Structure 1
């Protein structure tokens, strides 16, 4: 069930408002505080009045706070752990698949159980099977990705669960589906346009689409990158701490430039963010950026840019 108080508090804080800013003669700050902590309820009329004062529609409130079973996905991802194909890690993956399957059979976990099972099997095939085919071209992978693609295409509105499913399955999506769903994510997540924290989530999703398209559909990747920059620029009025996203954007532009023909110029641009990551103590991002830029440059010079696999970034 929706946690009305917690959802209200998240929206209020996201809007930069204090409880006292919403206090009214018949809605005291004490009542609002207790409501947010789950210690009391308030009438629908009072809730709608408070939401109106915050500039939030009732539909938006329900959309963002609805029961989407997203906690189940996070829990199973934690159980699964990082997967590189090592025996111990594969055992964790198998155990996660088994538990998700059992939960699904017994009506537990909701939609999260369904898709975590499919995701686990998709990932298992990707690790188990040695083949020259790209991940998204493998028959076994397609079988488990297709239900997620169909679900996302049919969803009238995208909330957190839809964005999470997109993030999970994007490595197995064909470039055509990935581009179509990247566009759809932006269109269907329109409720996010006024919320700072959810805008950041949307930026990450656009980057996910770019990340999957970069070595498969250059034009599509360029479209996603332009959209990411547009969203970031539109957030300047509200957000000041966008350092990581802007560094990532610069690096991504460099990779794109390399694939578009300016190999050395793009390589220099991609590598230009490395010192900033190092100064900020973001050593993993520094190493990741270096390896990605170096691998891209190497394969392009060798005439094999399509040999570069999708880079799988768990963003949820």
Structure 2
């Protein structure tokens, strides 16, 4: 079994930090010395705290961890391929195969992110098997949500985990944990450029409201979204917010011409942008909102 302690020691020494900076309040001096020597392992909670004190992202630690890098990358690529297959085919079986791969990797690495990935994939499998609802895997989902709730300081890892779990939350869970996120996002001490922005997280949250056709949740999310100052460099959260606002306004005034006057230019703009993934998602969300909230309103989509 590979030990993580020697990797932590190497990183600590490279950063010029003393042992006490890492173990104080986490474990005893004696146990920490044994941990760095590879004699004992550490709990997942303690490891997370040590990484924070090392000012190290989980993704960075994965790259620096002295394991069989080629094997780890191969397993991750295989798991990702299975996830893509599961998403495309909307079947649980590929997710279960990917979860089994990550479970084996976790037994070897004792890396908390591997375990969380395994649980997330199991939850997705249950979600797919039950027509968009988490049933048997509900305790696993709650386990990961409790992990998020207990972390007073969020890093890029916690934001990524939340973003992955949101589509599978109930509307009530979504609002609870999204508000926790909004409280803690301003305290982020590490921001990975690859991690979703506030606007992108809020866009993802609307999937729950749309999937459940829950207009009360939709309105609550829109209030949060409209209150946010979005980063100017990120175009698509602005476009999604315009679409969400337009459909909310239509439910009040039933003005089809006004709705068309807002949505048609968005569809025209999306057709000219060379960002296919975001554009496809926006087009899909508009179609789903149309079917739910404005079935009698027709739009002009250049892609049709």
Please report the TM-score for the alignment, with normalisation by the length of structure 1: 0.60
Any residues of structure 2 matched to 1:90-101 within 5 Å, and which?
92-101=94-103
- The residue number in structure 1 matching 2:233 is 241
Q: CA deviation at 1:140?
A: 1.9
Superposition RMSD in Å: 4.1
Superimposed CA distance per residue, residues 261-290 of structure 1 (whole angstroms, 9 cap, x where no aligned partner) = 647344552343111112223344444433
- The residue number in structure 2 matching 1:257 is 249
Q: CA deviation at 1:182?
A: 0.6
- The residue number in structure 2 matching 1:227 is 224
The 2-side partners of 1:302 and 1:182 are apart by 29
The 1-side partners of 2:148 and 2:213 are apart by 21
Superimposed CA distance per residue, residues 123-157 of structure 1 (whole angstroms, 9 cap, x where no aligned partner) = 2122234x5xxx24x42242331111222222212
The 1-side partners of 2:225 and 2:190 are apart by 16
Q: Secondary structure at the match of 1:178?
A: helix
Q: Does 1:68 align with 2:58?
A: yes
- The residue number in structure 1 matching 2:113 is 112
- The residue number in structure 1 matching 2:292 is 299
- The residue number in structure 1 matching 2:152 is 156
The 1-side partners of 2:194 and 2:229 are apart by 12
Superimposed CA distance per residue, residues 18-51 of structure 1 (whole angstroms, 9 cap, x where no aligned partner) = xxxxxxxxxxxxxxxxxxxxxx76789xxxxxxx
- The residue number in structure 2 matching 1:290 is 283
Q: Secondary structure at the match of 1:232?
A: coil
- The residue number in structure 2 matching 1:181 is 177
Aligned residues of 2:209 and 2:217 also touching (Cα < 8 A):
yes
Q: CA deviation at 1:178?
A: 0.4
Aligned residues of 1:270 and 1:289 also touching (Cα < 8 A):
no
Aligned residues of 1:179 and 1:213 also touching (Cα < 8 A):
no
In structure 2, list runs of 5 or more residues that go unmatched.
Answer: 1-6, 19-48, 63-71, 297-304
Q: State how many pairs are aligned.
A: 243
Q: CA deviation at 1:86?
A: 3.5
Any residues of structure 2 matched to 1:28-177 within 5 Å, and which?
62=52, 65-68=55-58, 75=76, 78-82=80-84, 83-84=86-87, 86=89, 92-104=94-106, 106-108=107-109, 110-129=111-130, 131=131, 135-136=132-133, 138-177=134-173
The 2-side partners of 1:262 and 1:199 are apart by 38
Please report the TM-score for the alignment, with normalisation by the length of structure 2: 0.62
- Structure-2 change in CA distance of 1:90 and 1:66 (3 Å): same
Q: Does 1:210 align with 2:209?
A: no
The 1-side partners of 2:157 and 2:228 are apart by 21
In structure 1, list runs of 5 or more residues that go unmatched.
Answer: 6-39, 45-58, 304-316
Aligned residues of 1:69 and 1:111 also touching (Cα < 8 A):
no
Aligned residues of 1:255 and 1:266 also touching (Cα < 8 A):
yes
